[in-house]
Amino acid sequence: MKPEEKTEIILWDWFKTKSINIEEVYFNRINKLNAPVFTIKGIIKKPDFVVKFNRGFGTEYLVLEIKPSKTSKDIHDAGKILIYYENYIKNKTKYFINKKQIKISHFAIATETSINGHLFELDDNIIKNYKHQTDLWRKKNAELNLIPHFEFIRTSDFQRSLWSAWRDLKKRCEWEKIPLPSIGIIISNPTKDKFPYLFTMWWTTKNKWGQRFWRL
């Protein structure tokens, strides 16, 4: 079994057994789990999963790019999630489930070590956002559950680079869909539990950046 296929199965099981809001996980192809699939029309560049969930505010769909955690290059290559994002926003790619077009609300990246709170296999250094934090901005945001209580440094740096590239993308393009989908990663909250959380940023209807860390 290829490493990426193994990672998909690990994450599929995690989403199915540890989430409270996920209703279904769709693969981009026929698979060994006999899980349902999604299809696309337009530019044929497919992410790995589409995740359907409902937090009590109606159905939402998340596009997910998956990579094994062992090789840093693979994870950095997952930055192509921004290509999927741009193609969707510009109506160059449309997503379908059971031949019905769906609206995408979020784009994210995950690895099998997302279960442990980080994307990279080797990611030991920790940023404490809550206890013993001298940065009052970080401490306040952790108290409000806008960021995790602690983060792993390599994963944190990767995510901030992803967000920076996304902001640059927004500046260069004239968007056709408002509000815009969010962009982020999926990790656990290991100081509390090992459930899946979406750590994400978006551009709000009030023309401001927003950030959240919430359980799927």
**Tens digit of each residue's pLDDT (9 = 90 or more) over 201-215:** 987 666 677 788 989
d(CA 90, CA 117) in angstroms, rounded, equals: 32
At how many degrees (to 10) do helices 153-172 and 81-89 cross? 30
Q: What is the pTM of this model?
A: 0.92
Which of 12-16, 26-30, 200-204 has the weakest average pLDDT? 200-204
d(CA 21, CA 68) in angstroms, rounded, equals: 24
**Tens digit of each residue's pLDDT (9 = 90 or more) over 164-179:** 999 888 877 766 556 7
* Per-residue three-class SS string for 78-102: HHHHHHHHHHHHCCCEEEEECCEEE
Nearest to 178 by CA among 101, 84, 103: 103
